[in-house]
Amino acid sequence: MGTMTDERKRDTRGQYAKETTDDDILAAIRESEFPAVTARWVADTVEMERPSAHRRLEVLHEDGEVERGKLSPRVVIWWIPENE
């Protein structure tokens, strides 16, 4: 079968999924009609898997790009701080 040298993920149709940048994620949040969003919303908006969106949001949070809050044990919301 040969070795796989391309590490990019494929979407459900076997096409290469487009690479989503941090700027894509931040722009989606900025342009949202909502003051805060969920990882599911981000995933659906930028077309990535929810666990990947959550991991990316965690990194953006560590970098100070987004804030987070828990509405309940299972619901986390994310927003861009006002000082941006």
Please state the three-class secondary structure of 14-63 as a single string.
CCECCCCCHHHHHHHHHHCCCCCECHHHHHHHHCCCHHHHHHHHHHHHHC
Beta bridge partners of 70: 76
Please enumerate in sequence order all residues whose Cβ is within 8 A of that of 17, keeping only pairs 6 or more positions apart, or say none. Answer: 8, 9, 10, 11, 47, 48
Tell me what pLDDT residue 16 has.
52
Look at the block and give the residue holding tokens 């941090």. Answer: 22
* Longest Cα separation, the chain: 52
Chain segment 10-67, per-residue pLDDT in tens: 545 555 556 899 999 999 999 999 999 999 999 999 999 999 999 999 999 999 999 9
